[in-house]
């Protein structure tokens, strides 16, 4: 009897039809497991399961399987039209038939009806119960039959173990697959492997057909090498481009895996065992960490260079070490305050009002009026504006409206043009001593002008008026668009 890969009848000879009391046209194309069951009785379910398991084993391993003794009654209609069961014992061999690529396309079932042998043995045993093993018994094969039963019992036990191993294999969190023959036909794989390849139907297909996107990525050659040399291959954090969604673009995954050759009893390499883990998350996390360390290093070194610059420029305008130390320290502290603000938001940014408050509270809150909407500043803008406000406030405290007296500072800001947002800030001092443009531009005013123009791509105007200094600053909030 011949079955196709879906376990449907593909053909049978007359002897099979005679024994089963069926007609060929009834059976062709029908699933064998539907057409037959093991009839009544306690062992029926187990017998059915054994038969199905044997077919499945042949399909997945591509190797013959034997059932030494199978109790499988044949349903027949008696004269009254009732179904009765004709108790029969079989010995069956299931042989795979493969196509060129090694895929199992059919299963040939060869059965021997050993019912008569079993009946004869039972008769003898009834007639001579005292002789467990008579000469006749051994002559007609009773001993052989018993041995066959015991082999079959062993087979059942092995089958159970095989099934348990297979379950472990299928459920392991790593991916697992077995490739067969020179074309690396995917014989079986577990759920993790299925997930990795986007749950495509690849069983029974050669790897080049099953996973065509691997072309040019080195994996085919590697498999060919393992098969040719018998040397296992180990991949570590190996990048692979995979089609994980139908018609989607390829995604990069990183895999730790091993290709282990599978040998037959004669020691020949017949396939490859593939086993591994998707370590993409680990690789991505390590890359992110490296990026962060590089970024940290960049910021630290740039900050040190900034501090170096502040030291050098401050030194040039202070001959007295005491006033140098004072001015230098206050500039460094201002920088440090802005960093504190940014650290609170994990360096995502800071609000303009917060930056302003940070730099001006030391001069007395009642003397400053801050008025404007919330404006989110990116870290670089926050650092620049922090330094700018520090210079303005220090200057006001030294020469302007924040010197002891009644002077005040009004800071107003607004955002105009929402398509290309511009932040306009006005720093207006009043009520302080009259100011005049400095004769020599000091570091403070140079810092303000350079910072606005260079770092913020904006514009600044400083007006030294009789009633106090006014600074007007405009900055594009979206530097990319500017």
What is the contact surface with another protein in residues (CB under 8 A)?
294, 297-298, 300-302, 304-310, 312-313, 316, 380, 384, 387, 446-447, 450-451, 453-455, 457, 479
Helical packing angle, 379-398 and 352-360, nearest 10°: 30
Q: How far is the CB of 214 from another protein (least distance, A)?
A: 29
Nearer to another protein, 307 or 415 (CB): 307
Nearer to another protein, 241 or 313 (CB): 313
Nearer to another protein, 179 or 460 (CB): 460
Nearer to another protein, 19 or 307 (CB): 307
Q: How far is the CB of 469 from another protein (least distance, A)?
A: 21
> What is the distance between the alpha carbons of residues 215 and 207, in angstroms, rounded to a whole number?
10
Q: How far is the CB of 234 from another protein (least distance, A)?
A: 27
Q: How far is the CB of 330 from another protein (least distance, A)?
A: 15
Q: How far is the CB of 343 from another protein (least distance, A)?
A: 19
> What is the distance between the alpha carbons of residues 243 and 250, in angstroms, rounded to a whole number?
5
The C-alpha R_g of the chain, in whole angstroms, comes to: 43
Nearer to another protein, 24 or 450 (CB): 450
Beta-carbon contacts of 223 under 8 Å, excluding residues fewer than 6 positions away, are 179, 184, 207, 259, 272
CA angle 297, 300, 305 (to 5 degrees): 125
Q: How far is the CB of 346 from another protein (least distance, A)?
A: 18
Nearer to another protein, 158 or 457 (CB): 457
Nearer to another protein, 310 or 409 (CB): 310
Beta-carbon contacts of 475 under 8 Å, excluding residues fewer than 6 positions away, are 381, 422, 423, 425, 452, 456, 457, 458
Q: How far is the CB of 334 from another protein (least distance, A)?
A: 12
Nearer to another protein, 236 or 301 (CB): 301
Query: Which of 152, 145, 156 minimizes the C-alpha distance to 49?
Result: 156
Burial label, 244 (beta-carbon count in 10 A; 0-12, 13-18, 19+) = middle
Nearer to another protein, 183 or 338 (CB): 338
Q: How far is the CB of 219 from another protein (least distance, A)?
A: 27
Dihedral Cα 20, 23, 28, 30, nearest 10 deg: -60
Nearer to another protein, 221 or 294 (CB): 294
Query: Which of 404, 403, 390 minimizes the C-alpha distance to 471?
Result: 390
CA angle 415, 419, 420 (to 5 degrees): 65
* Token output for 129: 């119960």
> What is the distance between the alpha carbons of residues 75 and 281, in angstroms, rounded to a whole number?
58
Q: How far is the CB of 308 from another protein (least distance, A)?
A: 4
> What is the distance between the alpha carbons of residues 61 and 230, in angstroms, rounded to a whole number?
20
Q: How far is the CB of 474 from another protein (least distance, A)?
A: 17
Q: How far is the CB of 396 from another protein (least distance, A)?
A: 21
Nearer to another protein, 241 or 330 (CB): 330
Nearer to another protein, 148 or 475 (CB): 475
Q: How far is the CB of 311 from another protein (least distance, A)?
A: 9
């Amino acid at each position: 009897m011949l079955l196709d890969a879906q376990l449907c009848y593909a053909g049978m000879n007359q002897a099979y039809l005679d024994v089963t009391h069926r007609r060929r046209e009834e059976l062709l194309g029908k699933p064998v497991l539907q057409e037959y069951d093991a009839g009544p009785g306690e062992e029926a379910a187990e017998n059915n399961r054994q038969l199905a398991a044997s077919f499945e084993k042949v399909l997945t391993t591509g190797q013959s399987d034997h059932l030494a003794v199978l109790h499988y009654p044949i349903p027949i209609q008696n004269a009254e039209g009732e179904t009765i069961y004709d108790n029969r014992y079989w010995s069956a061999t299931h042989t795979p038939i493969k196509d060129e690529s090694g895929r199992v396309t059919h299963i040939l079932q060869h059965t021997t009806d050993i019912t008569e042998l079993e009946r004869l043995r039972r008769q003898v045993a009834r007639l001579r119960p005292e002789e467990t093993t008579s000469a006749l018994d051994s002559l007609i094969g009773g001993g052989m039959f018993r041995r066959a039963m015991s082999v079959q019992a062993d087979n059942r036990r092995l089958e159970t173990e095989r099934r348990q191993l297979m379950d472990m294999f299928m459920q392991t969190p790593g991916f697992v697959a077995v490739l067969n023959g020179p074309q690396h036909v995917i014989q079986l794989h577990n759920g993790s492997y299925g997930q990795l390849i986007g749950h495509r139907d690849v069983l029974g297909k050669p790897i080049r057909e099953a996973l065509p996107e691997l072309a040019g990525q080195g994996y085919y050659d590697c498999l060919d090498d393992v098969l040719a040399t018998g040397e296992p291959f180990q991949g570590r954090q190996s990048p692979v481009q995979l089609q994980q969604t139908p018609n989607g673009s390829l995604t990069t995954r990183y895999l730790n895996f091993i290709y282990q050759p599978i040998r037959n009893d004669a020691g020949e390499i017949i396939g490859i065992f593939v086993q591994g883990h998707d370590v993409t998350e680990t690789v991505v996390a390590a890359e992110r960490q490296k990026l962060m360390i590089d970024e940290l290093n960049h910021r630290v070194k740039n900050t040190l260079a900034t501090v170096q610059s502040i030291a050098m420029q401050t030194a040039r305008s202070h001959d007295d070490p005491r006033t140098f130390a004072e001015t230098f320290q206050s500039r460094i502290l201002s920088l440090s305050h802005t960093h504190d603000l940014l650290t609170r938001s994990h360096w995502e940014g800071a609000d303009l009002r917060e930056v302003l408050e940070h730099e001006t509270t030391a001069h007395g809150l009642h003397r400053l009026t801050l008025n404007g909407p919330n404006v989110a500043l990116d870290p670089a803008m926050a650092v620049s504006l922090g330094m700018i406000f520090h210079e303005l406030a220090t200057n006001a405290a030294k020469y302007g409206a924040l010197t002891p007296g009644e002077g005040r500072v009004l800071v107003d800001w607004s955002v105009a043009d929402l398509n290309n947002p511009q932040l306009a800030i006005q720093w207006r001092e009043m009520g302080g001593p009259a100011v005049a443009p400095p004769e020599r531009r000091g570091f403070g005013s140079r810092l303000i002008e350079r910072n606005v123009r260079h770092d913020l791509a904006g514009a600044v105007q400083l007006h030294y008026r009789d009633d106090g200094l006014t600074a007007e600053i405009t900055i594009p909030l979206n530097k990319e668009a500017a």
